[in-house]
Structure 1
Amino acid sequence: MAAGLSRRRVIGAGIGIGAGIAVGTMGGAAAHTTGSGPAVAITGTTVIDATGARPLRDVTVLVRGGRIATIGTAREVRVPADADVVDGRGKFVVPGFIDSHVHGSGQEEIDPPLFLVNGVTTVRDMNGHARLYEWRDRVAAGTLFGPRSVVASGIVDGDPSLLAGLGSPYVEVANAREARAAVRQAVADGADFIKVYARLTPDAYHAIAHECRKLGVTFVGHTPDAIPLAEASAAGQRSFEHIYTSWFDTSSQEKEIRRRLAKIRVGGGEYNSWFNQTHPLEVLAARTFDPARARQVFGRLAADGSHQVPTLTQHRVFDLPESVAVHDDRLRYLPAATRNGWQAQLEQLYLAGRSAKDVAEHRELFRARLHWISAAHRAGVPVLAGTDTGTAYVYPGFSLHDELENLVEAGFSPMQALQAATSAPARFLGLPDVGTVRRNAIADLAVLDADPLADIRNTKRIHAVIVGGKLINAGQREHLLSAIETAANTGTLPARLAGCACTPALAAA
């Protein structure tokens, strides 16, 4: 499909939530399918449907059979006697959130429930591990407590790959034949979409584009060094992750940047070397942003329906490491190995040897990233909120709310930021019945204690979550958070799956 990522039918919304909510595997799939359990009614609330329409005030939202049965005034909606009732007075109902760039850890006691307690009911997972395909299918079957997901292939990169030896699932392709074979194998293995990477040759890249069109599969990912952004968009790449080489096209010095980029030579697994060699080109691109060229490039992306996923949360950590809260309360929901690894990365790889010039330069880069994504958005390029969980100090679930703040800082209105995490990714993922609040839509909802249109930070003030029609009320949500914290401190969780090397620190870890 042109705009959707999944090659499968729309994934079912059934999530099992018993009276005593547990973290991890859920037993009895038949008892946990969408449509089981009592109706849920949110009474006297304000609904923000993420379409841009004015909020509906003092209404009741009735959920039955996993979907929104009706929305209306107290006179119009009869609440069943056995319904689970949420007092919505002074509260705001928004669609369940969608994080469009995550890297699952493989620790099912941590990531899946952390997403849900934060109101994140759908994720696009960029980690092509078999375990994450299993998670996707178990959630759809109602036997795993977590968000619905669409999951990437292993990364398809050039030969030699920047990812060699770093633990991420990847395949090296040196030519068009190998590239086509890699796409076919990824689809056979269960990937919902293909993820491309930095070192692909033009022949291999365009072979991937052709094979994806042939198979009806979308491809997304990084902007390869050898392919300008506009060319990649025209070839069919439908999302571009992060703001690294993507902004070379909008520089008045693009020819010089590409001349220098073509001279870069790196061996397998030398991600840090590649990053260090491209960094000066990033600075040059940021300083030579050309509004006229940008309008032309962004117009091409908008016409093609290509999306940008800026992952500003990840960029903030790397560009502004001095701003990281090393005693963040959210750390208690992560295993000690993760906490210790993040601190080591921050101290040894982000902060060590950082000169005053480095600090100033990276602050300049972060401001430029905000400006660039704002310009793309104003030009009509659809933007999706994604966090890049797996990066140090980017938290499953929690950081999606950080990303919404970043988008508002970049100039988005609160409604536009909200849409980047709800209706826009729902359309992109080919999930027409999520990402909004309307009759017959799948009942993925977050109930907030304050108005996100008045202050986007209010998306963090979650009172309750409804997932596929199943209510996680305030008490159950607190119970879940406590259970996650306990699981994080057992010392028995499997090691985290390696994610994409999206920062040099991750590559070196």
Structure 2
Amino acid sequence: MHQEAEATASAGARGPATYDLVIRRAHVFDGRQKLTGLYDVAVDGAEIASVSAEPLAGRQEIDAAGAWVMPGLIDTHVHFYDVRAVSDPDSMRAFEENELPGRLGLFLEHGATTIKSVGDPTGGILDTRAGIAEGTLRGPPLLATGCGITGRDGHPAATVFGDNPWARERFTGEVDSLQEIRDLVHHLADRRVDAIKLLSEGACAHSGGPGYLWRNPAFPDGVELERLPRELLRAGVEAGHERGLRVTVHTTQQVAARGAIEAGADGLEHGVTVEPLTDRSLIDLMLEHDITYTPTLWIDDAHPDARGNLQKVSRAGVHIALGSDTFSGRGLFGANTVEEAELMVAAGMTPTQVLAAGISGASRQCARPDLGTVARGKRADLLVLDADPTADIGNLRRLRMVILNGELAVDKRRAASSGSPR
């Protein structure tokens, strides 16, 4: 294969060298496909320096002994702050001091080496991002949209935060005019967010849009909302693009998905979940507009059509990105990311397709070409697994080591060798 020849050549081009770190004799899944044979993967600093079929020397060496090396997982849809516990400055401070560091560590413990927050309080999540980048917090690099932008009294402002006004002002940005949505997008861009998230449900009562009943197990009777008007969606997308930011839109129904795409969105968060995807022209529209579809089965698998809809768009060739919709109160941060991958396979995707969605597809969704590939010059965020994840997605749970920014961040060999009391 071309990539294998390129990998072999990368060592020869440099000649004999001693690298900072070499993972020796490993099978490699490079982010899109598995390579034939065994390779040495060399790291200098925070970057991959070589992927070679020939032996390499390192100041630190890890003998993989035929284990599997792959890029770290990227979870593109996370809600990090506890929406139930954060309701005033004191509870916010308590969460950040007592809960936040451990949750960041959980992602690494399960192999998620990049996470993307899509609707946390703007100030808090950007401070968290800075703390990770500066090294004062231990965790995977964090990408963030800041607050999610919704219509006046839209989701999640009037649903999740209906009885929590303090958090509502910080987790959500409610707009009901073209100027307001443009100003908010530019404000977030000025704060250097990594992307923009819009929510299609919810708008002012005079929008004239079709009625919408938001349903969730926590709200069995539903909450009546209206959709964000198309002109506001389009204005939000255009403002994001003016600032060079990708814009994704929360949707659950076909009509909302079509509206988001026609408004110029780059991706769909959730996609179509609450009804069967019957409109083939909508799938064609996704392909035509190069849309990324993030199925979030970890939260949406309760909907009977969510798996089948993912299967339809995946088989059609729509770009897929892994995103768990992890939030506080259910499951375990990081473990939910792995469960999402397993649910995507259960929905009909192959393990290789799901791995690509969680690595190269996710890096595309995040507009981060430095991530998601085992190749020279890419960031050295790597997993070492005891078994082939392309044969069984469950082998993501057989995690041996996590390399983050070129350094050993998680080493489960020590825990295994020390044993545990029976």
1:224 and 1:215 map into 2 onto residues whose CA distance is 27
Q: CA RMSD in A?
A: 2.3
Contact 2:119 2:172 in 1 (8 A): no
* Counterpart AA for 2:189: V
SS in 2 for 1:386: coil
1:226 and 1:376 map into 2 onto residues whose CA distance is 13
Which of the numbers 59, 72, 95 marks the counterpart of 2:71? Answer: 95
1:477 and 1:382 map into 2 onto residues whose CA distance is 38
Contact 1:450 1:458 in 2 (8 A): yes
Greater percentage in helix: 1
Which of the numbers 59, 81, 85 marks the counterpart of 2:39? Answer: 59
1:435 positional shift: 0.5
Q: Which residue of 2 aligns with 1:329?
A: none
1:394 positional shift: 3.2
Q: Which has the higher contact order (CA 8 A, sep 6+)?
A: 1
Moved over 4 A (4+): 224-227, 475-479
Q: 1:305-320 counterparts in 2 under 5 A?
A: 305-316=290-301, 319=302
* Counterpart AA for 2:148: I
* Counterpart AA for 2:30: D
1:313 and 1:300 map into 2 onto residues whose CA distance is 26
Q: Which residue of 1 aligns with 2:85?
A: none
* Counterpart AA for 1:414: P
Which of the numbers 191, 194, 205 marks the counterpart of 1:192? Answer: 194
2:254 and 2:39 map into 1 onto residues whose CA distance is 54
1:459 positional shift: 0.7
Q: Which residue of 2 aligns with 1:300?
A: 285
Q: Which residue of 1 aligns with 2:380?
A: 443
Q: 1:114-263 counterparts in 2 under 5 A?
A: 114-129=106-121, 130-162=123-155, 163-164=157-158, 165=162, 166=164, 167-168=167-168, 169-197=171-199, 198-199=201-202, 200-223=228-251, 228-243=256-271, 246=272
1:315 positional shift: 2.0
1:50 positional shift: 2.1
1:224 and 1:452 map into 2 onto residues whose CA distance is 30
Q: Which residue of 1 aligns with 2:20?
A: 39
SS in 2 for 1:109: helix
Would the alpha carbon gap of residues 186 and 227 (structure 1) be closer, same or farther in structure 2, given more than 3 Å must change?
A: farther
Greater percentage in strand: 2
1:472 positional shift: 2.9
* Counterpart AA for 1:69: A
In the TM superposition, what whole-angstrom CA distance separates every residue of 1:52-100 from its partner, at most 9, and x where no partner exists? Answer: 2x42422211212111121223xx33313x31x2221131001111001
1:477 and 1:404 map into 2 onto residues whose CA distance is 26
Structure 1 spans left out of the alignment, 5+ residues = 1-37, 248-281, 320-364, 480-509
Would the alpha carbon gap of residues 40 and 58 (structure 1) be closer, same or farther in structure 2, given more than 3 Å must change?
A: same
1:427 positional shift: 1.9
Q: 1:364-403 counterparts in 2 under 5 A?
A: 365-366=303-304, 368-390=305-327, 392-403=329-340
Tell me the number of residue pairs that the alignment of Structure 1 and Structure 2 aligns. 346
Contact 1:201 1:226 in 2 (8 A): no
Q: Which residue of 2 aligns with 1:424?
A: 361
Q: Which residue of 2 aligns with 1:414?
A: 351
Would the alpha carbon gap of residues 478 and 127 (structure 1) be closer, same or farther in structure 2, given more than 3 Å must change?
A: farther
SS in 1 for 2:231: helix
2:290 and 2:340 map into 1 onto residues whose CA distance is 22
Q: Which residue of 2 aligns with 1:491?
A: none
In the TM superposition, what whole-angstrom CA distance separates every residue of 1:255-283 from its partner, at most 9, and x where no partner exists? Answer: xxxxxxxxxxxxxxxxxxxxxxxxxxx4x
Contact 1:202 1:226 in 2 (8 A): no
2:332 and 2:190 map into 1 onto residues whose CA distance is 31
Contact 2:30 2:374 in 1 (8 A): yes
* Counterpart AA for 1:77: P
1:240 and 1:97 map into 2 onto residues whose CA distance is 20
Contact 2:80 2:327 in 1 (8 A): yes
Would the alpha carbon gap of residues 203 and 144 (structure 1) be closer, same or farther in structure 2, given more than 3 Å must change?
A: same
User: Taking structure 2 as the reference length, what is the TM-score of the superposition?
Assistant: 0.76
Structure 2 spans left out of the alignment, 5+ residues = 1-18, 82-95, 203-227, 417-422
Would the alpha carbon gap of residues 468 and 227 (structure 1) be closer, same or farther in structure 2, given more than 3 Å must change?
A: same
1:226 positional shift: 11
1:476 and 1:141 map into 2 onto residues whose CA distance is 28
Give the fraction of aligned pairs with identical amino acids, expressed as a percent: 29
* Counterpart AA for 1:209: V
User: Taking structure 1 as the reference length, what is the TM-score of the superposition?
Assistant: 0.64
In the TM superposition, what whole-angstrom CA distance separates every residue of 1:142-183 from its partner, at most 9, and x where no partner exists? Answer: 332111121013121112234144434112211212221221
In the TM superposition, what whole-angstrom CA distance separates every residue of 1:122-149 from its partner, at most 9, and x where no partner exists? Answer: 1111133222111212222333211112
1:452 equivalent to 2:378? Answer no
